[in-house]
Amino acid sequence: AKSRKKGKNPLTKDQHGQLLVSQLWFTSAYSGYAAIRVSVHPNSVATRASVPIGVKALTLAKLQAIVDDARQLLTALCDSQVSERELVGLTDRLLAHSNVRWDKLPAAYLVDFEVA
């Protein structure tokens, strides 16, 4: 993630290139795992030259949604007053309806880039 991305700036060809290099490193270092190319970016706009095919954006709004959803989940657990033994079951039930899970995160929070 780049810390100096301006809110209106699109994803550039250079940034996309860095993401591709990172994916190559990831797939060589973690051969048993699937990779999703994601850029944490203020918006979901990319330049035409960047050709962001297969690249997802985690926008600041979606990042805030993850924080809000995780906070809601943790608040429910902390406020539950169930026994330690019951806590596992409650956690499973809450996670079953939450998007803060490995299998739901991409569809719930990642968006496709749009070419400007």
Q: How confident is the model at residue 92 (pLDDT cuts 50, 70, 90)?
A: very high
Give yes or no for residue 3 having a pLDDT over 90.
no
Q: Which residue has the higher pLDDT, 2 or 65?
A: 65
Q: Which domain holds residue 74?
A: 13-115
Residue 32 lies in a domain: yes
The Cα–Cα gap between 111 and 94 comes to 24
pLDDT for 4 equals 60
pTM recorded for the entire structure? 0.84
Residue 3 lies in a domain: no
Q: How many domains does the chain have?
A: 1
- Average model confidence (pLDDT) for the chain? 93
Residue 33 lies in a domain: yes
Residue 56 lies in a domain: yes
Q: Which two tokens stand for residue 65?
A: 């949604």
Mean pLDDT over 5-26 rounds to 89
* Residue range 103-116, pLDDT digits in tens: 999 999 999 999 98
The Cα–Cα gap between 8 and 53 comes to 20
